A and B are shown apart, each in its own frame.
Chain A
Amino acid sequence: MSLRFRNSTALLALAAALWGCNREERQTRGKPLGETATAAMPDTVYPGTGNAPAPDPRAAQYEGNASAIAQGQMLYNQMNCVGCHFHGGGGMGVALMDGKWRYGGRIDQIVASIDQGRPNGMPAWRHRLTEQQMWQLAAYVRTLSGQERKDAVSARADEVSNTPPQTQTKREPLMPADSDEQ
């Protein structure tokens, strides 16, 4: 084993000790929402150039969490997200591998879009998915544009791969969708 490799291993171990805890943390199954539950998500859509609402504190549990991202990757296929958004490239649904977000690209904003549904085809998943599953999905969706830590994403895809592994996905700067598009 070369010195260089040992050094990098030591560095990795140090990094893991410092901030890797969240990467490995696992959660038990979340409770389904009751039939009459009010919106689990705060309203994250705001008009014009107003200030975005403060981030949801639950984000910390899911961002950079390898287990949540892996669960989200499974759900992304099982819930047929792939049928519209494909593996990030978009089709009937919008592309998810760019940095453009009509309803916000923060994890809590993506969760709100999954929960509430959005015009022109995005179904509302409230009462179909648990709150936890929506957060897991949102965590995975953010990996498609390279927003999540590279040590937390899956190094290989579940599908016929025509994109580089997610560990090589370039991080796209987040921006609101422009009105000049469509």
Chain B
Amino acid sequence: MESLQHGPRQRRADRSRIPPPYPQDQGTDLGVKSWGPEQWKIGGGTVWGWLSYDPVLKLVYYGTSNPGPWNAEQRPGDNKWTAGVFARDVSTGQARWYYHSTPHDLFDHDDINETILVDWPGPNGQRIPAMLRPSRNGYFYVQDRRNGRILSADAYSFINAYKGVDLKTGRLIPAPEKEPKEGRVVRNICPGPPGAKDWNPSAFSPVTGLIYIPHLNICMDMGAKNANYIPGTPFVGADVKMYAGPGGNRGVFTAWDPVARRKVFEIKEDLPLWSPALATAGGLVFYGTMDGWFKAIDARSGKLLWQFKTGSGIIGQPISYRAPTGDSTSPCRRASAAGPERSSRPISTNAIRPPRSASSTQ
């Protein structure tokens, strides 16, 4: 369980040319000092999500997972370097900056979700190298990817576990009434442990300028209890009961305008959405549901244009490619794979045409 994210070897991060953007992430041996004695050694913070690479800045970006155990009373402190995002020099591995999205995580809100690199419209027509992150904690972060500084952080899902992100200090503002304590059950915490969104990546469309986020609307009751560290067994210390959030639907597909910082449309799905999204230049967006529907929607209106029932729930990544016949439309292939049954039968979507208005804007 010893994690390379923690401990003294992170000292190198502090000698980087560009200091971390916020004071709480600056200093020495924070990966040791922000824990109880020796706890960083068994504190989780693994990397199991997505990596993004910027060939100009030569930086690799990735997020780290939640601290262990879930019972936060057992690990006093901010618990670095868990539940945050790193930028590292690709040739040396040295950390360039780190941003702690969820300090002292209370609810298993890892920060391993995807990092989408975009050119951001800055003042005076400048282009800022930025990154977009629909985070587990429910905030949509836009950050300057050169130094980690937050440009905006807005809730894209229903949140009551936090009160916002302080843009001055970069710190997440907790909601004290939602803090689980040992022997006490806290009801109605939103979002639940899988967060407002889990690992399944969203899709950015340069055509519409929107980001399409397949995500969750799940709240929970949580009771904390003492967890024993026994290698080979889950180190959790929490009893969790999950249920649908406001509205009663467990899944949501949200189209988000990152510049205007607002939701453009949302599609409510009964089951939690664990399928990644795919946006095509033809003005279509694809995603799948746990009951096996593979859907194509209009990228601007969200209108359902086509759907196909597959043999199992969909959690696989849809991909699009040009067929060797030279057909100019893009067939779409995806693997339907929830659980042990897998079917990789390709689905041809040649017949789908986006509505006139959408295709004419390209």
Which residues in A have some Cβ–Cβ distance to B below 8 Å?
Answer: 77-84, 87, 92, 123, 128, 159-160, 162, 182
Contact = CB atoms under 8 A, between A and B. Distances in A.
Interface stretch (B127-135, B231-239, B252-260): B231-239
Which of A78, A83, A123 has the largest count of B CB atoms less than 10 A from its CB?
Answer: A83
Interface residues of B, number: 17
B234 A83 contact: yes
B219 to A, nearest CB: 13
Contacts of B222: 160
Contacts of A162: 241
Contact of A80 (B223, B230, B239): B230
Contacts of B241: 160, 162
A123 B228 contact: no
Contacts of A182: 340
B294 to A, nearest CB: 24
Contact of A160 (B223, B228, B233, B340): B223
A83 B232 contact: no
A63 B75 CA distance: 39
B207 interface: no
10 contacts: A79-B230, A79-B233, A80-B235, A81-B233, A83-B235, A92-B234, A123-B232, A159-B223, A160-B223, A182-B340
Which of B222, B230, B233 has the largest count of A CB atoms less than 10 A from its CB?
Answer: B233
Nearest to A91: B234
B240 A84 contact: no
Contacts, number: 38
B185 interface: yes
Contacts of B340: 182
Contacts of A82: 236, 239
B225 A83 contact: no
A80 B227 contact: yes
Nearest to A181: B340
Contacts of A84: 233-234
A12 B235 CA distance: 43
B154 interface: no
Given A81-B233, A160-B185, A160-B241, 8 more contacts: A80-B228, A80-B235, A83-B234, A83-B235, A92-B234, A123-B233, A160-B240, A162-B241
Contacts of A159: 223, 225, 239
Nearest to A78: B228
Contacts of B223: 159-160
